[in-house]
């Protein structure tokens, strides 16, 4: 296990302060300069899991309310909304500076048998044939302002490989469909709960980028203010995030300064293990009132 992988596992292992009160580290993981949205979702799910010992999450729904401050911890308050015969419900509020930054509701379900079907996994290039994120970023480093270069090149714990990467600074409009492979080797041997937490963390990666693709935009182009507004996720099958998973994303609609994004996550052997939906802000930078 690498140091950065252990750092991520530690980052997502929230500390219990009281019966239903937990504390998570603010900085680390995907970025040092802000709190990455997937981190807050994953920590909130981790806090909920600390109050549900015997069932796995099947769905979560979250709203991002305010940007997170990486300089201080995040406090997670869990409300035990319901403990039923088959389903358990939890509501988690993430708090910084005395104000809510995220609300999350999660539902947990006992294992049951039932009918089964799924859509097939798309046929795309395998991860071994694709450049890693680090290789792509190193190739682009000279085009990044020097004061941003160190953070830009810093290695991250999640290994992901885009099937059709675009030019980061001068992208051309293209289709909204977007595929990437991702994994974290240190997930091997972790509990089913930690697999869910890690996949929730990773599920915010590149998803909003699907809305940007048809408009010739990227995170680095400085033409749009972007932020995740909400995030929903459904877990369908057992997960081993230590192995490659395909994240297939699209954006069927953008408008009104927002973009709607969908994702499906498949294991390497073609099982549909999770689905994701998210609406994101994508406002032209010439217009910057508060969200």
Among 193, 228, 250, 267, the one annotated catalytic: 228
CA dihedral 264, 267, 271, 275 (to 10 degrees): -20
CA dihedral 72, 75, 27, 40 (to 10 degrees): -140
Verify whether residue 228 is a known catalytic residue: yes
Among 39, 107, 190, 278, the one annotated catalytic: 278
Rg (CA), the chain: 19
Instruction: State how beta strands 99-109 and 230-235 pair.
Output: unpaired
Among 195, 204, 211, 250, the one annotated catalytic: 204
Residues carrying an active site annotation: 204, 228, 278
């Amino acid at each position: 296990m690498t140091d950065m992988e252990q750092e991520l596992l530690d980052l997502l292992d929230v500390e219990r302060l009281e019966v239903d009160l937990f504390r998570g580290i603010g900085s680390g993981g995907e970025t040092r300069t802000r709190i990455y949205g997937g981190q807050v979702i994953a920590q909130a799910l981790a806090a909920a899991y600390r109050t549900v010992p015997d069932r796995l999450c099947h769905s979560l729904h979250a709203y991002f309310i305010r940007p997170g401050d990486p300089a201080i911890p995040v406090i997670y308050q869990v409300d035990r909304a319901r403990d039923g015969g088959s389903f358990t419900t939890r509501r988690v509020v993430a708090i910084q500076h005395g104000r809510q930054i995220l609300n999350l509701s999660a539902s947990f379900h006992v294992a049951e048998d039932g009918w089964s079907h799924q859509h097939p996994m798309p046929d795309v290039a395998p991860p071994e044939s694709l450049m890693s994120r680090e290789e792509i970023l190193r190739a682009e480093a000279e085009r990044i302002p020097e004061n941003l270069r160190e953070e830009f090149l810093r290695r991250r714990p999640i290994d992901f490989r885009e099937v059709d990467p675009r030019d980061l600074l001068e992208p051309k409009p293209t289709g909204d469909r977007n595929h990437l492979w991702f994994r974290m080797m240190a997930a091997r041997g972790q509990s089913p709960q930690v697999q869910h937490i890690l996949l929730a963390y990773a599920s915010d990666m590149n998803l909003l980028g699907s809305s940007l693709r048809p408009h010739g935009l990227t995170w680095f182009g400085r033409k749009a203010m972007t932020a995740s507004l909400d995030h929903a996720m459904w877990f369908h099958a057992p997960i081993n995030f230590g192995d490659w998973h395909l994240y297939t994303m699209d954006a069927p609609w953008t408008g009104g300064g927002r973009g709607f994004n969908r994702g499906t996550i498949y294991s390497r052997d073609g099982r549909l293990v999770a689905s994701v939906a998210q609406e994101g802000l994508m406002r032209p930078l010439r217009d910057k009132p508060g969200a």
